Chains A and B, each alone.
Chain A
């Protein structure tokens, strides 16, 4: 996977994760272009599209679009389920996740993503294991906080 973007129906970028080195300018350009392209698509259309020399896989959950760019040989359907598993992880962690959770706890959204995907590849698919890692960290934080 080359990058993952989360954006709202209004086109506001909520999370961005880049697995290839790109300049900020290039990132902004890609984001603008993709947000436009994906938002213009109708609900029943297929979840894949060709874009430049990449394949875009996207899915909408409520007001949020999850959008991944994968390479020519990568598997579209499994990417669709990467998105779903990530949503499940967020959901489990936040308890019925919503866009605001991701806005205001953006750092958690990034930490969960890092446990699940690293360097653009799936690191750990077990929901239990990912959440265990995050919860352990939270526990560590609380312990330290209580020491203050």
Chain B
């Protein structure tokens, strides 16, 4: 196929034209080799001819009309604009001749026109064909609707098509077209497709005899189920049985629906995709589904039935979709690990396509708690891929995977490899790698000297790709951590010795030496004068903003090193500074010189004091990476997974890198001039007045933080302070939330709430007594939400124990868009209740109000503690006061699987202590709950009784209420 092209391409130009003439009856001639102008001239002549035919006095017969309409279409498809012929095409629709009708429909589908008179005529013709009961004509009409899919067509036919779809006497092929036609209309105008009785009958098409009908219907059901999960819930068990029948069928059973020995691959993929609209089904169906998934995984291990690539592609397409479903459910450790192993095999496959997909798929597996460790075992292969893959898109996937699998244990290796790769990386992906390295280095820095080295390396290797955010960030971190300041000063000083260094290094070096140059000034090799001369030797090669920064460094030196004051004053006084053509530089030189001359040592010391620590906020680098990856392009859950690796060390925004309080009246654009403040240090260190987290927000006094502008105008919800769910409007406010809430006790990421309108996803991270939660609000509709106002509410009891700070979100959420909100959390003392997240918004004229519990639970502030058996029992005995112990005996709610139990205990936050309990079937754990006021040691012991399907859970902590709460939380998990 298509391989004969070479012989055929040798046809002479004449034959070329002749072929066309014969096939379509047209006389248009396009000759190969003629110039572009000649072609355009020829076409214009032809267009003029057709126009005159259409406008001529003589009525054209159907055949000629068809011929000319077809020619117009041909010319359009060659890339020329066509602005007439629509009316003639519409006339063809009402022809009884099949080919004329067909060409008419094709023209209409390709050259959609918004003229309302035409649309009326077209819709009329379609209506006639739909009513004709001639399946071929009905098919043409449905194809046309599906191809155009306009709102006008939806208005005219969205009510009619469901009837055709479920009518008993409709032919199979018409049903197929009707299903997909409806799907297209639903995608463009969901509001015009009425849900109704037909939906349940559509679900039953999954049982249809005709696999083509099932294939088309599955696509429709999947799309509808995404927006109306409740209504299509019954599709889950039907889809599982259908899938089960397919995967267990012999390769010849399905006849023409078997593709290269793979039974119905398209349908299998669609069914698996449909199941991804739902959480894991209930146990009976789940067992069957697990069997299907296992069969699919097993088949991957069987020898191929054919050597053709189509066979392996179709088989693996099903396999990858099955893995997606396994990851989506994220509940079967066994399947997750098997999936991971399978992908591991593909990482070394000779097919580039499979290597690419395996890397991509593993990225999502890396975010599952169950398979993260299994993914990590492939690190060497992935690093090797980075070095040896010849295709940049595959290397890009390898970078993504390394980023996803990175944790404290392998961060140094991964960062080193990424830096290594950066030296030769493709220009197109350098910036992204720089951001990733910067984020990982910060997030996993145990040793901040390593962090400083890494960032300086980044600047050295890829200085041009190091964005402002990255070097701002290193400065923020150095300023906030006094243990690294001396090292940073020494390192930048050494790096600046290089004969050619990147301007970004000069910026970092200038800033850090200006703040901390004194820490290395004791060494004669880096005396004040040497530091100054070194920086000044770079001055003339730098751009204006960098020079402005260096001038500020110089004035800081005047304060740090009075002994070189005159040298600096000489430099500031030179003509090149005082008479600099750039107004900003000139002004700085003048003002700094004046300041150094008139101000007393005390005033200088105050004005030029060391920068106070920056308030902790979200890393701006992370924000940049997210932006680069494109907002709203991924689904909520994946978004959450991708972003779960956000850091905890928040950061200041770049704009607040604001070196000194020197008065600079000019509206300067650079970093250092921003502080147009009086001659005192205007920004007191945030730590001076309590918690960092609290201080970032001025309105911290209120426990009900209004999150969006304009939130307080409309709805005074009654009794917001109570922890009860508030609902005053008919919106679906009720919450099986408890179940979802408990899901989050042992994990930090996932979907908290979902209905037809809104999906709420969470991603959170906790460290000691602090935490940060990202809430993602996804608008599932195509309509804007207005006055969108999420509010986090702490009850009176909770308020003193838990400090929550939120940032406002935009009050409008576009259809299909997702907004993110950050909640900063501080645990002051132990607490029982959970805060409530209340969300109010307007959707299409109705007011929606719903509340869910926010899963911030005491166990989130756990730090695991490893200890020996002896230590454990010693402490256990120490906590023998009856008030310190709480015990609960309960029935197992889930299958009693030791591996899952272990994962849950670790997810709960305590350390899982192996070989401590004399009975190996028991589980014991230990950890410390961190609150601002105290730390509470906790020990736990879980004893399963398989026969009785019961557990006994014992908690011992130094505080009764803590034992009580932890016991409650953990008991719900098994």
Interface residues on A, range: 35 or more
* Distance between A121 CB and nearest chain B CB, rounded to angstroms: 4
- In A70-93, the 8 Å CB interface with B consists of 72-73, 75-78, 80-82, 84-85, 87-88, 90-91
By a CB distance below 8 angstroms, the chain A residues around B24 are 104
Q: Are B19 and A104 in contact (CB under 8 A)?
A: yes
A133 within 8 Å of B by Cβ? yes
* Distance between A138 CB and nearest chain B CB, rounded to angstroms: 9
Q: Are A125 and B103 in contact (CB under 8 A)?
A: no
By a CB distance below 8 angstroms, the chain A residues around B211 are 125-126
Looking at the complex, which one of B139, B269, B355 makes contact with A46 (CB distance below 8 Å)? B355
By a CB distance below 8 angstroms, the chain B residues around A84 are 310, 313
Within the assembled complex, what's the spacing in Å between the Cα atoms of A49 and B429? 14
Interface centre among A49, A72, A124 (most CB of B within 10 A): A124
Within the assembled complex, what's the spacing in Å between the Cα atoms of A77 and B355? 12
By a CB distance below 8 angstroms, the chain A residues around B150 are 21
Interface centre among A44, A50, A105 (most CB of B within 10 A): A50
A141 within 8 Å of B by Cβ? yes
Q: Are B4 and A96 in contact (CB under 8 A)?
A: yes
Closest 9 CB pairs of A and B: A53-B633, A119-B184, A77-B317, A91-B1, A62-B2, A78-B317, A118-B180, A126-B256, A121-B219
A63 within 8 Å of B by Cβ? yes
By a CB distance below 8 angstroms, the chain A residues around B176 are 118, 123-124
Q: Per-position contact with A for B118-147: 1 when CB-CB < 8 Å, else 0?
A: 000000000000000000100100110011
Within the assembled complex, what's the spacing in Å between the Cα atoms of A64 and B216? 28
A–B pairs, 6, beta carbons within 8 Å: A48-B353, A62-B1, A107-B70, A107-B103, A124-B215, A125-B266
Within the assembled complex, what's the spacing in Å between the Cα atoms of A52 and B633? 9
Q: Are A121 and B102 in contact (CB under 8 A)?
A: no
Q: Are B265 and A81 in contact (CB under 8 A)?
A: yes
Total A-B Cβ pairs within 8 A: 212
Within the assembled complex, what's the spacing in Å between the Cα atoms of A77 and B73? 33
By a CB distance below 8 angstroms, the chain B residues around A114 are 143, 147
By a CB distance below 8 angstroms, the chain B residues around A106 are 73-74, 77
* Distance between B263 CB and nearest chain A CB, rounded to angstroms: 11
Given A61-B2, A75-B269, do A125 and B212 touch, yes or no (CB 8 Å)?
yes
- In B227-264, the 8 Å CB interface with A consists of 255-257, 259, 264
Q: Are A125 and B99 in contact (CB under 8 A)?
A: no
Q: Are A98 and B320 in contact (CB under 8 A)?
A: no
A97 within 8 Å of B by Cβ? yes
B352 within 8 Å of A by Cβ? yes
**Binding site secondary structure of chain B:** helix
Q: Per-position contact with B for A129-141: 1 when CB-CB < 8 Å, else 0?
A: 1000100110011
| Number of interface residues, chain B, beta carbon within 8 A | 86
B501 within 8 Å of A by Cβ? no
Q: Are A62 and B5 in contact (CB under 8 A)?
A: yes
Q: Are A63 and B9 in contact (CB under 8 A)?
A: yes
Looking at the complex, which one of B177, B256, B276, B318 makes contact with A127 (CB distance below 8 Å)? B256
* Distance between B192 CB and nearest chain A CB, rounded to angstroms: 15
Q: Are B2 and A119 in contact (CB under 8 A)?
A: no
Within the assembled complex, what's the spacing in Å between the Cα atoms of A144 and B62? 13
Given A88-B1, A107-B103, A125-B266, do A81 and B310 touch, yes or no (CB 8 Å)?
yes
By a CB distance below 8 angstroms, the chain A residues around B5 are 62-64, 98-100
B691 within 8 Å of A by Cβ? no
* Distance between A30 CB and nearest chain B CB, rounded to angstroms: 14
Q: Are A21 and B353 in contact (CB under 8 A)?
A: no
Within the assembled complex, what's the spacing in Å between the Cα atoms of A125 and B268? 12
By a CB distance below 8 angstroms, the chain A residues around B212 are 123-126, 129
Q: Are B216 and A72 in contact (CB under 8 A)?
A: no
Within the assembled complex, what's the spacing in Å between the Cα atoms of A133 and B172? 12
B627 within 8 Å of A by Cβ? no
By a CB distance below 8 angstroms, the chain A residues around B73 are 106-107
Q: Are B215 and A133 in contact (CB under 8 A)?
A: no
Q: Are B2 and A87 in contact (CB under 8 A)?
A: yes
A13 within 8 Å of B by Cβ? yes
Q: Which of B390-398, B717-725, B952-960 contacts A (4 or more CB under 8 A)?
A: B390-398
* Distance between A134 CB and nearest chain B CB, rounded to angstroms: 11
By a CB distance below 8 angstroms, the chain A residues around B64 are none
Within the assembled complex, what's the spacing in Å between the Cα atoms of A144 and B103? 15
By a CB distance below 8 angstroms, the chain A residues around B81 are 24
Q: Are A73 and B393 in contact (CB under 8 A)?
A: no
Given A63-B9, A75-B321, do A50 and B393 touch, yes or no (CB 8 Å)?
yes
Within the assembled complex, what's the spacing in Å between the Cα atoms of A115 and B292? 30
Given A16-B77, A21-B150, do A62 and B3 touch, yes or no (CB 8 Å)?
yes
Q: Are B79 and A13 in contact (CB under 8 A)?
A: yes
By a CB distance below 8 angstroms, the chain B residues around A45 are 352, 390-391, 393
A128 within 8 Å of B by Cβ? yes
Interface centre among A24, A81, A88, A90 (most CB of B within 10 A): A81
